[in-house]
Amino acid sequence: MDAKFTAPDGAFKAGIDKAAADAMAGKSEAVALRPTMALGHGGGDIDIARDFKLPPLKIAYGVGAFAGVYPLGSLVLGRPEEAELLAEPLEDIVVVLISYFKYWKEWLKKHQQDAGEFSKTWNTEAEARKAGFITEYSPDRSIPAAAAAMDIKLLIEAPTTGLSAKFWVTLGGKSYAPAYWSIDKMVYKACGDTILKADRGPLSARGLHSGRWTLHTAVVKKGSNTYVNPVLRLTDYNSDSFIADVAKQLGHISAAPADEEAGSVGEDAAG
């Protein structure tokens, strides 16, 4: 025998705050603001590491999501569905590097890329070699290989026009977009050593974020191939107050999970 269904009280709606629903429906019943909804302030379940994911800094290549959308070699901020153009080739953007992590990443072969495989990663070169991967160049592409890679957290100074919501941090009277940049292969060769040397050289006393850098790309043709080369240069230094503000505002903001960048299609050749 089926159990009888008893309708709930007419005033009850599962999962709905009736007072709030009445207010939205234009009824006269007042709804008290929650304590954290005072004018000019924010509150609630806010978690800095969870709620402030960083958009990626990308280069537009001849393959991948940005191919044909932006000029070859352009610097682009954000994932494809919400990306915006920062600069075309040879146009500088100003960046402040906040932190980085160097690791080792599998060099995917073309058939692996075509199959959508993800690169394996290791924290150290020793771990990669222990897993059976070589870490030096070999003309024999059949041998499993790994190469140095780096994830970088950085600030991108806002352009003079077209300010977007991504540029929500204000430092020294200028607006910046916190972002992350994952580099490997030819991009690592062009920029990774530069970062390591600056970190242990001119920026070692006051921190990586004491430096101001310019970044642009150049499109280079070699024979029948076209390549996009990034150029990263340390050009100036930040004030002590700027450095302190960076630590205060960004110390707990995390980058997006590393696996969101894993397995990217070979983007060194422009196509």
Which two three-digit tokens encode residue 263? 């397995």
Residue at 25 is within a domain = no
Residue at 126 is within a domain = yes
pLDDT of residue 110: 79
Most confidently modeled of 164-168, 199-203, 221-225?
Answer: 199-203
Q: How confident is the model at residue 40 (pLDDT cuts 50, 70, 90)?
A: low
Residues pairing with 154 in the sheet: 97, 179
Q: Give residue-wise pLDDT tens across range 202-216.
A: 999 999 999 999 999
Q: Share the mean pLDDT of the chain.
A: 81
Residue at 3 is within a domain = no
Residue at 144 is within a domain = yes
Residue at 37 is within a domain = no
Residue at 7 is within a domain = no
Domains contained in the chain, number? 1
Residue at 40 is within a domain = no
- Burial of residue 62, with CB atoms counted within 10 A of its CB: 0-12 exposed, 13-18 middle, 19 or more buried: middle
pLDDT of residue 113: 77
Q: Give residue-wise pLDDT tens across range 61-92.
A: 988 889 889 999 999 999 998 899 999 999 99
Residue at 237 is within a domain = yes
Q: With 60 as the cut, is the pLDDT of residue 262 above it? A: no
Q: How confident is the model at residue 139 (pLDDT cuts 50, 70, 90)?
A: confident
d(CA 76, CA 78): 7
Range of the domain at 192: 48-260
Model's pTM, two decimal places?
A: 0.77
